[in-house]
Every structure is written in structure tokens, then in C-alpha cells.
Amino acid sequence: MSRFLRAVAPVITALVLACSATAYAAGLRVGSDISYAPLEFYGAGHAMQGFDIDLARAIATKIGEPVEISNHTFDDLIPSVQKGTFDFAISALSDTRAREAKVDFVDYLLAGSGMLVPAGNPHHVFNLGALCGLRVDVQRGTSQEAAIVDQSKRCTAVHLGAIHISSFSTDSDGFKAFSQGKSDVHITDFPVVAYLAKSSGGKYEVAGRQFALVPYGIAVAKGNTVLRARIVAALASVIADGSYDALLKKWGLEQGALRSVPVNAGTLFEGTK
């Protein structure tokens, strides 16, 4: 970046935030599926917490609007943004080509998917190919569910057992089934898997490496370019003033840091097909 751009960037950010100050009667309405620690979950006193919750509040502060975050079913978040029920959604939403056809994404973190297994990895799971014939739980409507459905087809194509897939409305419900021994592998976003393993007291471990690395994005309705620009400018400001790094460190997500604020960058991670 040139010296000139470095000098004027903060001014441009301030102008975007100020000049696009559309009023929201009840503040920014934000949807999130509060079942994805450390991204979003309920803590003591049923208080919402997590990286996404903190970031949404930091962005709203920069925009200068109050924010109301509502717990909502994951697979209805994007339709609700499309309908205008929410101004935006932030909930570890992978920015994918299919989803970009429905909403725009302001990307803020890189993350892949991961697999959680009992300590000792009794089924020797190290990649998706090792899941043939096993019981796997996923959250309904996620990119993980689509990946496991595709992998199950590959298993049967080479005459191996199909993957026995259990889909749940929340990731917490899926993990509960796994913890009760009803599934062999719990598959979800890698930051969630890492958090569950770390907080299990040695009962669970991460199997293999994360896969399908994509950016998480804040979902905004197509055509709502004013709000999208405000979020981009606000997030750029949160990154510039160090708040973003502080939140990454707080929740142990430093490896997923983004230093720019791309829009709809998910297609770059899915190739050019």
C-alpha cells in the first residue's frame, strides 16, 4: 500500500461510516445460531458470548448503531437475511459459491472443518475416506453435511459401506449424540472441534487435519450495498485499531486471521469450476 493510501484509508473509512448512516429503528438486527463455541455459545447466566458475538458488537459500535443478536436455526439464517428478518447474520457461515448466489458475504476469518473422535482414535480416522461404514453426526444445512453426503457416495462407489449420517438442527445436539456414543465421529468447523477437544479433559481428540479451508463471512442481503459498505468499513476499522487481534487471541483463533476485508472471496477457495 502506498504512503498516500495509508494516510487516507482512515479518512475514507470514517466517511463511509458517516455518509451512509442509515437509521435503524431498533438497531441492527443480527441472527446467529448460538451453539458453536468458541464462535457463539451461551455462557454463565445464559449470556451470549464467543468470537462472532464480540465481533458483531464491535462492528455495530463502529457503525454507531445498537445491536440486537437473536438465536436462530442455522439453516434458516440465510433465508431470514434474504427476507429482511435480520440485517445480517454472523454464525461461522462458510462463504461458498452456492451461498453467494443468495447473499453477499463480508469475510472475516479463515477456517476449515474438523473431526472429533474419542481419545485414542479407536476407528483410526485420519481423513474423510476413513469414514466409510462409520456413524457420523453433523449439523443440518452445513457445508460439512454436504461434504459427508458426497463422501458417502464415494464410499459406496468403490463397494465400501455408506456413512451413517445423523443430521441435527444444532451443533450442540450433534455433539450430545456423539458424547452419548450414538456416533463415532463428530464433524463440525475446525475451531469448534479444537475447542471441544481442549475442554474435554482428555476425553476427546482431533482426528487428522482440518479440511475444506474457506472464509467465514457476515451474510448481507443482495442489493443492500449500503449496509455491506458500512460493515466493510467498520470491520476494517476494528482490524486497524487492534481490536480484531485482541478478540482472536481471546478466543484462540489467531491462525484464522484475515488482514483485509474481502467480499465474496469464498469462490477463490473453491476453485474456478
Tell which CATH classification among 3.20.20.10, 3.40.50.300, 3.40.190.10, 3.30.450.40 matches the domain 113-212. 3.40.190.10
**C-alpha distance from residue 115 to each of 9, 79, 146, 224, 229 (Å):** 41, 28, 15, 36, 36
Tens digit of each residue's pLDDT (9 = 90 or more) over 185-201 = 999 999 999 999 999 99
DSSP state of 162: P
| Lowest-pLDDT range of 5-14, 61-70, 77-86 | 5-14
Check if the beta carbon of residue 131 is closer than 8 Å to that of residue 104. no
Q: What average pLDDT does the chain have? A: 90
The answer for residues whose C-beta is within 8 angstroms of residue 267's C-beta and 6 or more apart is: 97, 100
Taking residue 129's Cβ as centre, other Cβ atoms within 10 Å add up to 12
Residue 7 has pLDDT above 60, yes or no: no
Q: Would you state the pLDDT for residue 143?
A: 87
Q: Would you state the pLDDT for residue 26?
A: 65
Q: Would you state the pLDDT for residue 261?
A: 97
Tens digit of each residue's pLDDT (9 = 90 or more) over 156-196 = 999 999 999 999 999 999 999 999 999 999 999 999 999 99
Q: Would you state the pLDDT for residue 154?
A: 97
Q: Which residue intervals of the chain bear CATH 3.40.190.10?
A: 3-111+214-269, 113-212
| Lowest-pLDDT range of 49-53, 119-123, 139-143 | 139-143
Residue 273 has pLDDT above 50, yes or no: no
Q: What percent of the chain lies above the pLDDT cut of 90?
A: 83
**CATH code assigned to 3-111+214-269:** 3.40.190.10
Coil, strand, or helix at residue 206?
strand
**DSSP alpha helix (H) spans, the chain:** 3-19, 51-63, 77-83, 97-100, 143-157, 171-179, 190-198, 225-240, 243-251, 266-269
Q: Would you state the pLDDT for residue 255?
A: 84
